[in-house]
Chain A
Amino acid sequence: MAGYEEISRCNRCGFCQSVCPTYLHSQDEVQVARARIYLTKLLIEGKYDFTKDSQVAKKVDQCLLCGACTAACPASVKTDEIMVAARNDFASNRGLKLFQKLVYRGLLPSKDRLEKVVALLNLYEKSGARRLLYGQTLRRALDRLVYYDSFLPDKLSQPARAGLASVIRAQGQAKLKIVYFLGCASNVFWAQTVRRSLAYLAARGVEIHLPPSTCCGEPHRSSGDLEETRRLGLKNAPLIFQANYDFIVTDCSTCAKALSRYDQFVGADSKEGQRLRAFLPKVLDLNTFVVEKLGSISANLKPSSFSRVTYHDPCHALRGLGIREAPRAILKAIPNLEFIELEGAEVCCGGAGSYGFNHPEMGGRLAESKRLRIAQSGADLVSTSCPACALQLGAGLKRAGQSIAMVHPVELLAESAQLGVFKP
Chain B
Amino acid sequence: MSSPAGHGNFSPQSLKALSDIVGPAFCRSQPIDLELYSYDSSPFIHYPSVVVIPGQVEEMAEVVSLCRRHGWPLTCRGAGTSLSGGAVAHRGGVLMSTTRMNRLLEIDLLEETALVESGLVNLDLQKALAPFGYMFPPDPASQKASTLGGNIAENAGGIKGVKYGITKHHVLGLELILDDGSLVKTGALKKGFEFIAPDLTGIFLASEGTLALVARALLKITPLPKSYKTLSVVFDSLLKSGQAVSAIIAQGIIPTALEIMDRRLIAALEDYLRLGFPVGAEAMLLIELDGLGPELDPQLAKIKDICFRSGAVSLEEAETAEDREKLWLARRSGNGALGRIKPSTIVQDVTVPIVHLSKMLSLVQEVADRHQIIIVQMAHAGDGNLHPHLLFDPSDGQEYLRCLKASAEIFAAALKVGGTITGEHGIGLEKVTFMTDEFTKVELDFMAAIKSGLDPTGIFNPDKVLPQKWQAYRKAKGS
Contacts and interface: CB of A to CB of B under 8 A. Distances in A.
Contacts of A11: 41, 335-336, 338-339, 343-345
B334 interface: yes
**Residue of A12, A13, A48, A59 with highest tally of chain B CB at under 10 A:** A13
Interface string A34-58: 0100110010010110000101100
A45 B102 CA distance: 35
A121 B35 CA distance: 44
Interface string B69-84: 0000000000111000
Contact of A15 (B36, B80, B100, B145): B145
A336 interface: no
Nearest to A16: B145
Nearest to B55: A27
Contacts of B266: none
A13 B35 contact: no
B431 to A, nearest CB: 19
Given A9-B340, A17-B79, A38-B39, A74 B145 contact: no
Interface string B127-165: 000000000000000101110000000000000000000
B94 interface: no
B399 interface: no
Given A8-B343, A11-B344, A74-B272, A29 B37 contact: yes
Nearest to A74: B336
B117 to A, nearest CB: 12
Given A28-B53, A39-B35, A17 B145 contact: yes
Given A17-B144, A29-B36, A55-B32, A9 B343 contact: yes
Contact of A38 (B3, B30, B36, B97): B36
A288 B385 CA distance: 48
A75 interface: yes
Contact of B339 (A28, A35, A56, A77): A77
A75 B272 contact: yes
B367 interface: no
A375 interface: no
* Size category, B interface: 35 or more
Contacts of B53: 27-28
A48 B32 contact: yes
Nearest to A12: B41
A47 B41 contact: no
B1 interface: yes
A56 B35 CA distance: 11
B358 interface: no
B144 A15 contact: yes
B41 A13 contact: yes
A75 B99 contact: no
B42 to A, nearest CB: 8
A76 interface: yes
Interface string B1-35: 10100000000000000000000001010101101
Given A18-B144, A27-B102, A74 B32 contact: no
B322 to A, nearest CB: 15
Contacts of A76: 272, 340
B32 A13 contact: no
A74 B333 contact: yes
Contacts of B37: 29-30
A38 B33 CA distance: 12
Interface string B55-97: 0000000000000000000000001110000000000000001
A9 B119 CA distance: 28
B283 interface: no
A424 interface: no
Contacts of A30: 28, 32-33, 36-37
Contacts of A238: none
A276 interface: no
B36 A47 contact: no
B40 interface: yes
Interface string B96-136: 01011010000000000000000101010000000000000
Contacts of B119: 27
A8 B335 CA distance: 14
Nearest to A13: B336
B334 A74 contact: yes
Nearest to B272: A74
B142 A14 contact: yes
A56 B39 CA distance: 18
Given A15-B144, A29-B97, A35 B81 contact: no
A69 to B, nearest CB: 11
A10 interface: yes
B219 to A, nearest CB: 20
A13 B344 CA distance: 10
Contact of B36 (A14, A39, A53): A39
A10 B36 contact: no
B452 to A, nearest CB: 32
Contacts of B79: 14, 17
Interface in A239-277: none
Nearest to A10: B339
A73 interface: yes
B45 to A, nearest CB: 10
A42 to B, nearest CB: 7
Contacts of B35: 38-39, 42
Contacts of A53: 32
B123 A27 contact: no
B336 A47 contact: no
A48 B119 CA distance: 31
Contacts of A9: 339-340, 343
B337 interface: yes
Nearest to A76: B272
Contacts of A59: 32, 36
Contacts of B41: 11-14
B142 A13 contact: yes
B99 A29 contact: yes
Contacts of A47: 1, 3
Interface in B362-408: none
Contacts of A8: 339, 343
Interface string A1-23: 00000001111111101100000
Given A27-B99, A28-B99, A30-B36, A74 B343 contact: no
Nearest to B101: A27
Given A28-B53, A30-B33, A75-B272, A14 B81 contact: yes
A76 B336 CA distance: 9
A399 B337 CA distance: 42
Contacts of A55: 30, 32-33
A410 to B, nearest CB: 30
Complex A-B, nearest 3 residue pairs according to Cβ-Cβ distance, in ascending order: A74-B336, A75-B339, A74-B333
Given A27-B53, A77-B339, 17 more contacts: A8-B343, A11-B335, A11-B338, A11-B344, A12-B40, A12-B41, A13-B335, A29-B36, A38-B39, A47-B1, A48-B32, A59-B32, A74-B333, A74-B337, A75-B272, A75-B339, A76-B272
21 contacts: A11-B339, A12-B39, A12-B41, A13-B335, A13-B336, A14-B81, A14-B142, A15-B142, A17-B144, A29-B37, A29-B97, A30-B28, A35-B36, A39-B35, A47-B3, A55-B32, A72-B144, A74-B334, A75-B272, A75-B336, A75-B339
